[in-house]
Amino acid sequence: MPNLNRRQIRSANPAVSRIAGARWFSPFGLLVHRGRRTGRRYVTPVGMGWTGGAFVIPLTFGERSHWYKNVIEAGECSVRWKGADHRVGRPEVVAVQGARGAFPLVLWLLLRAVAIRHWLKLSPLV
């Protein structure tokens, strides 16, 4: 998927999209995915971290999220994280152990406090 332009980033979610994916703001990134029915391109700000050679995204709303369904069906997507675009794929749902170390301690404790039990792990594609 091509790089994002400024208009596409702002259209995702005006409040979060201005800072999500920025080099200096690592707790949030932008997930770029295609709609499974429409084929339309979506840009979704999500919390994400990096651990064990893969991006880890908390499934805050579980497997009902449309972005989750789109990524699982396509098998790949793009993310903008820390100011860089990455093509990722091989989606895998992991438990808490697979996501440990992806976030700063305070954020990790907050995510655990709201009972996030499943995480989506996306590996970089070459």
In the numeric block, the tokens 């651990």 are attached to 51
Task: For the chain of 126 residues, list the mean pLDDT of each consecutive stretch of 10.
Answer: 49 61 76 92 89 91 89 95 92 89 85 87 92
The answer to the question of residue 85 being in a domain is: yes
The answer to the question of residue 91 being in a domain is: yes
Residue 60 and residue 3: Cα distance in Å, rounded? 26
Expressed as residue numbers, the domain containing 21 is: 6-124
Q: What is the pLDDT of residue 16?
A: 65
Q: What is the pLDDT of residue 93?
A: 94
C-beta separation of 55 from 94 below 8 A:
no
CATH of the domain at 80: 2.30.110.10
The answer to the question of residue 37 being in a domain is: yes
Sequence letter at residue 48: M
Structural domains counted in the chain = 1
The answer to the question of residue 1 being in a domain is: no
Q: What is the pLDDT of residue 2?
A: 44
Q: What is the pLDDT of residue 21?
A: 67
The answer to the question of residue 87 being in a domain is: yes
Tally of CB atoms within 10 A around 27: 13
Backbone angles phi, psi at 75, to 5 degrees: 80, 0
